Chain A
Amino acid sequence: MRVTCTVNGTTRTADDVWEGESLLYVLRERLGLPGSKNACEQGECGSCTVYLDGTAVCACLVAAGQAAGRDVRTVEGLAPEGELDPVQQAFLQTGAVQCGFCTPGLIVSVHDLLARVPHPSDPEIREALAGNLCRCTGYEKIMDAVRLAAGSPTEAGTR
């Protein structure tokens, strides 16, 4: 089948899509946007988080056909070419990136959280990110990154 949707502000079309393909597969393998990651492909790890019509979803759980005619925004589309979104900047500044496999999904989730709750408390941050697994950082520097992006004081000492 053919799937046409808006991706990061541009109309994109994928041909010969098999009905069983996920939005994640179409983004990664057919539209050249591998930024959204494939860590569990069952909605447990959040590595493939994207916006679908402004709502953060796991792209692995969205059938490609469900995305037809809708607006998709991925990690590649959070900031204009050559620039970084404040969330991306904060992840770099706080050392919240190690292997980086969870990073794109986390960045979209944090972007979504701060759009809804500009100054989240620590418990609010933890609750909002409970669906994003990270195996490297123990989440401490991710907490720092969110606090920094939210303009909250961060308690982290070592930089």
Chain B
Amino acid sequence: MSSTVHVGLAATVTGGVGASPGRPDGRLKVTGEFAFSSDLWAEDMLWGATLRSPHPRARITSLDLGPALRIPGVYAVLTHEDVPGRRLYGLEHVDQPVLAAGEVRYQGEPIVIVAADHPETARRAVNAIGIGYDVLDPVTDPEAALHEDRAPRVHADRPNLLRHVPIRRGDPQATAAVVVTGEYEVGMQDQAFLGPESGLAVPAEDGGIDLYIATQWLHVDQQQVAACLGMAADKVRLTLAGVGGAFGAREDLSMQVHACLLALRTGRPVKMVYGREESFFGHVHRHPARLRYEHGADADGRLVYVKARILLDGGAYASSSGAVVANAATLGIGPYDVPNVVMDAYGLYTNNPPCGAMRGFGAVQACFAYESQMDKLAAALGLDPVEVRVRNALHTGDRMPTGQLVEGPAPVEELLRLVQSKPPAGQADFPPGGTANTTRGEGVVRGVGYGIGIKNVCFSEGFDDYATARVRLEPVGGRPAVLVHTAAAEVGQGLVTVQAQIVRTELGVDQVTIAPADTAVGSAGSSSASRQTYMTGGAVRAACQAIRSRLLDRIGGRPDGLRLVDGQVLDEAGTVLAKIAELLGDEAIEETVQWRHRPTHPLDPETGQGDAHVQYAFAAHRATVDVDIELGLVKVVEIVTAQDVGKAVNPAAVVGQIHGGTAQGLGLALMEEIQLVDGKVRNPSFTDYLLPTIMDMPPMTVDVLELADPHSPYGLRGVGEPPTISSTPAVVAAIRAATGAALTRVPVRPEHIVGV
């Protein structure tokens, strides 16, 4: 539907920053020729498979590999004893076994890996392994896990409390005229990328290994794989294979070490591809959360205080839980100016599936709760839901609960007014229940709801966050051409397009090639935290600027105001001074730049004060729903959204991110949940884990603001995560408005609406 970009400057360079050139990999993707990690093939290749624990908590009492080894076509059967290096890995804490040793802590934990000549042979070998368990009661309640006397330790050597982030601002005893409280719950969401975990490990002649892999961060994989293999990092070379979506789920290792172990043992290439069921056990999920909030406001609806307690279930291993807890805490009262805050966010170990990164990263869970609270406050005061938000909206120059000054644009009020100002939604394409003829309009009620959220961009809390870019300008066939080499993971978001756009704008060269991402160049950091256009984009720009400077040094006198356009050097008046190809002669100019954003700082462990974040991003949603109040079925009729992106480097891709992020938020509101019973996943398939289809998604109207951040490249703001954050509360608020149901848990189920 309509997508408008406000304020922005027109693109001045064809295919440059601000334009929307096509994806360089687009043609391969529509013809089926693009090589995803699961499409890889090598001569003499074997297939890997994994034996996983059926129990959330058990001691392994016996293991008999013989029956598997006796199957013809089986080449290797490996356990933790075959891990030559470090037997544990992890992003923040090295606490997760490559293969379980003696004990399993979640259902699906890998125990044995097998290589065979056919995937079915490998599966049969896995099933033939004899294994005995002493099954133990799992720790599944994060509230109990918080108390040492109420639950055993998940890890014998450490308490179940993974991290506690307290934040204290102002007067903890503040009182207010109007008080609303609420308890909320968020279910465990899955990233559900379509391209399953997969990769190909090829043993190399130098005794090392080459791994072709779909990941979000090649270098953090390299570090961990090398440690577990007991090899020097330069012997473990990773190349990015085609990535079929990521959304956080590829930040942790899955089959990387396993495939390398099997390849090194057999001396043959080993491919591993998870099926969908295994994929549900093969990656971390979004943390389920329990949230308790108390909002106090004066009679005009201005917030006096917020008190909040957030419990995040980290599951069996730490993954990135620590950073998720910090996000939930620091962003946990939303984009509002509140003088007094008492916030406590906790991350716990349990025997549930491990949780870690997913788009929105701690900000999603909190937003559902604080936006539900804002609606409650509006109702208590008889105010319009947008009005109460606007009265408390964060502005530039305000301080976050951490004491951090909001320096860049904070168009909270503007975004809310934008989505509010759109004309009301028309008739839906389908009634609730779709084409199933469950209603002809009787019992169908309409509602409208709002949500706004806040997200940090880039890595926080003093992390040394950088990206590396190697850019080479050279004459090819008498014309200037540029080669860009980074390790940045293209995961679908369009980073390959954006890198070329930046080169065209900075160097005035149309011919740009993006080399395959690999570890032969320095780290680009992760394709997460909405950071890659900012970070790798920033590195590419810096490298281009260094090249530009060296090139222009070759012009006598070096006048001011020179521009590089269409392969030429122009002066201020637009006169052509030289052709870039002539300035280069036969020589190439190459620059490698390691680029960093402004430093951030740790939070004070007692007060949570500190300038922990680089940049804040904001998005608002308005959702309109039709609800069949007899059956509890919901049809989202329309979504209106507005987001400030600072600078739309590629407007079409920006809008695509906003559409897709909004859809994932809608999914969390209405259907997406990994359902657990006693620590076991009940729905590990696309039949039972429901994703929004094209029938579930409504038309979306997108407004994009471009309010430049003075500190970021081109003024841009990370785009990927904010749309996922506020669409969930907007949809739930709309259902509440239609039905009057309290709805304190997402995903909302039909029985919550009809009250049975």
Contacts and interface: CB of A to CB of B under 8 A. Distances in A.
A131 B244 CA distance: 18
A40 interface: yes
A137 interface: yes
B33 interface: yes
B660 A97 contact: no
Interface of B is mostly: loop
With a 10 A CB-CB cut-off, give which of A88, A97, A133, A158 has the most chain B CB atoms.
A158
Contact of B193 (A95, A99, A104): A99
B699 interface: yes
Given A44-B685, A127-B435, A130-B695, A141 B195 contact: no
Interface string B234-247: 00000000111111
Nearest to A32: B41
Contact of A88 (B30, B247, B276): B30
B194 A101 contact: yes
A35 B694 contact: no
Interface stretch (B2-10, B440-448, B618-626): B2-10
Given A135-B192, A142-B694, A99 B245 contact: yes
B218 to A, nearest CB: 17
A135 B244 CA distance: 10
A157 B476 CA distance: 37
Given A99-B491, A127-B435, A158 B660 contact: no
Contacts of B39: 28, 34
Given A39-B276, A127-B695, A158-B5, A97 B30 contact: yes
B194 A47 contact: yes
A82 B429 CA distance: 38
A103 B30 contact: yes
Interface stretch (B55-63, B512-520, B649-657): B649-657
B682 interface: no
Contacts of A139: 659, 663, 693-694, 697
Given A126-B694, A126-B695, A158-B20, A37 B656 contact: no
Contacts of B651: 158
Interface in B484-532: 491-494
B245 A136 contact: yes
B697 A138 contact: yes
Interface residues of A, number: 63
A97 B29 contact: yes
B118 interface: yes
B585 interface: no
Given A75-B32, A101-B195, A126-B430, A95 B656 contact: yes
A75 B31 contact: yes
Contacts of B662: 138
A125 B697 CA distance: 12
A35 B28 CA distance: 10
Contact of B194 (A42, A75, A135, A138): A135
Nearest to A45: B686
A157 B3 contact: yes
A159 B652 CA distance: 5
Interface string A5-24: 00000000000001011000
Given A76-B32, A98-B494, A126 B429 contact: yes
Which one of A33, A45, A142 has the highest number of Cβ atoms from chain B below 10 Å of its Cβ? A45
Contacts of A59: none
A98 B247 CA distance: 12
B1 interface: yes
A97 B245 CA distance: 11
B731 interface: no
Given A84-B30, A139-B697, A156 B273 contact: no
A99 B660 CA distance: 11
A107 B651 CA distance: 24
A76 B697 CA distance: 29
B656 A136 contact: yes
Contact of A39 (B2, B41, B244): B244
Interface residues of B, number: 70
A122 B694 contact: no
Interface string B1-41: 11111000000000000001011011101111111101101
A100 B497 CA distance: 14
A100 B34 CA distance: 9
Contacts of A42: 276, 685-687
Contacts of A45: 194, 686
Given A137-B659, A156-B3, A97 B26 contact: yes
B196 interface: yes
Nearest to A108: B32
A41 interface: yes
Contacts of B695: 126-127, 130
Nearest to A132: B694
Contacts of B120: 18, 20-21
A143 B663 CA distance: 14
B652 A95 contact: yes
B275 interface: yes
A153 interface: no
B2 A157 contact: yes
A98 B656 contact: yes
Residue of B31, B38, B191, B194 ringed by the most chain A CB atoms within 10 A: B194
B697 to A, nearest CB: 5
A99 B1 contact: no
Contacts of A97: 23, 26, 29-30
B686 A104 contact: no
A53 interface: no
Given A28-B39, A155-B1, A88 B655 contact: no
A29 B118 CA distance: 10
A150 interface: no
A140 B699 contact: yes
Contacts of B276: 39-42
A103 B247 CA distance: 18
B225 to A, nearest CB: 23
B195 A140 contact: no
Contacts of A75: 30-32
A83 B298 CA distance: 66
Given A75-B32, A91-B26, A138-B697, 13 more contacts: A39-B195, A75-B31, A92-B30, A95-B20, A98-B494, A99-B246, A127-B695, A129-B693, A135-B193, A135-B691, A137-B663, A158-B651, A158-B655
20 contacts: A34-B38, A37-B38, A37-B194, A39-B196, A84-B31, A91-B30, A98-B660, A99-B193, A99-B244, A100-B34, A101-B193, A101-B194, A129-B693, A129-B694, A131-B693, A133-B693, A135-B194, A140-B697, A143-B699, A158-B704
